[in-house]
């Protein structure tokens, strides 16, 4: 998740999660601002594709166009399969929005649990990666719809429940309902990393830093990762525990071995040391 943690640098706290408990700010269980119906407006796949291809070199853009032509001229029976090929190609190119849209098509043709979960995951990835305030609610709504379809097929599936819980906390319903779903997943599977990570990041966003520290320590005990250590450092720093924050950030840097993250952490550690 190196690419994800680099994204954390400038983006971790750019979205408020309304309705979560914040010290001296809100009451427990308050409702999140719901996504308005207009947010479910369909994205124009051709426009999204053209925008994506403009970011590619000529050879890759030509390859995408050839795959699109094969999809457009295929029979209805083959469209699901062709859509999956396009979704994978776009994902390989780190463009989650067109990838998710093609997965949505494939899931509509072949509505299986695994397909809907994958579609939800891809839309959630696109939501996490965009700063486009117009596109954000659309992507979140589509992720929610995909996970809802998966959940309808198997309400005990941890991936479907986790994804659905995340979308609810982010604005698709009462936040505490989403938190409750994530806690159910962790209760049944204490080592579920995605649910634990989500609970930890939501704890940070809601100012519950002590809870976040406990959560990320548990995550690290299961599987140490650069992002878990980074979030742990963030929680420590927020509480003014600079020495602990420095230790966590340093571990994150060591595990990530990423130049962008390393430069950011070096600067942050220098600032923390000045405060000590």
What are the tens digits of pLDDT across the range 13-57? 445 544 454 444 333 333 344 454 444 457 899 999 999 999 999
- Non-local CB neighbours of 86 within 8 Å, separated by 6+ positions: 64, 67, 68, 71, 98, 99, 102
**Mean pLDDT value of segment 136-165:** 97
**What is the model's pTM?**
0.85
Extract the tokens encoding 38: 């207009």
Extract the tokens encoding 236: 């420590």
- Domain ranges for the chain, please list them: 37-154
Residue found by looking up tokens 């051709």 in the block = 46
Report pLDDT digits (tens) over 91-143.
999 999 999 999 999 999 999 999 999 999 999 999 999 989 899 999 999 99
Residues 98-137 as b or e (16 or more Cβ within 10 Å = b): bbbbbbbbbbebeeebebbbbbbbbbbbbbbbbeeeebbb
Instruction: Work out the percent of the chain whose per-residue pLDDT is above 90.
Output: 79
- Non-local CB neighbours of 246 within 8 Å, separated by 6+ positions: 233, 269, 272, 273
Report the distance separating Cα 261 and Cα 226, nearest Å.
10
Element (H, E) at 250: helix 242-256
- Non-local CB neighbours of 229 within 8 Å, separated by 6+ positions: 216, 220, 248, 249, 251, 252, 255
Q: What kind of architecture, by CATH, is found in domain 37-154? A: Alpha Horseshoe (1.25)
- Non-local CB neighbours of 124 within 8 Å, separated by 6+ positions: 139, 140, 143, 163, 166, 167
């Amino acid at each position: 998740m190196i690419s994800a943690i680099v994204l954390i640098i400038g983006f971790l706290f750019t979205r408020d999660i309304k309705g979560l408990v914040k010290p001296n700010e809100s009451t427990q269980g308050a409702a999140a601002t719901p996504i308005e119906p207009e947010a479910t407006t369909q994205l124009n796949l051709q426009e999204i594709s053209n925008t994506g291809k403009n970011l590619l070199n000529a050879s890759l853009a030509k390859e995408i166009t050839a795959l699109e032509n094969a999809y457009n001229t295929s029979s209805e029976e083959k469209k699901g399969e062709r859509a999956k090929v396009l979704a994978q190609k776009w994902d390989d190119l780190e463009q989650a929005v067109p990838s998710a849209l093609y997965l949505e098509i494939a899931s509509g043709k072949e509505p299986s649990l695994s397909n809907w979960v994958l579609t939800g995951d891809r839309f959630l990835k696109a939501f996490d990666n965009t700063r486009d305030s117009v596109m954000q609610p659309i992507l979140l709504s589509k992720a929610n719809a995909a996970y809802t379809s998966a959940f309808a097929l198997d309400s005990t599936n941890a991936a479907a429940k986790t994804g659905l819980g995340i979308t609810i906390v982010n604005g698709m319903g009462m936040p505490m309902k989403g938190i409750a779903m994530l806690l159910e997943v962790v209760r049944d599977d204490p080592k579920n990393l995605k649910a634990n990570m989500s609970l930890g990041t939501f704890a940070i966003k809601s100012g519950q830093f002590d809870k976040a520290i406990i959560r990320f320590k548990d995550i690290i005990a299961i599987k140490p990762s650069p992002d878990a250590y980074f979030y742990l450092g963030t929680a420590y720093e927020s509480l003014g525990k600079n020495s602990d924050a420095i230790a966590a950030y340093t571990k994150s840097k060591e595990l990530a071995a990423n130049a962008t993250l390393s430069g950011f952490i070096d600067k942050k550690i220098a600032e923390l040391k000045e405060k000590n």
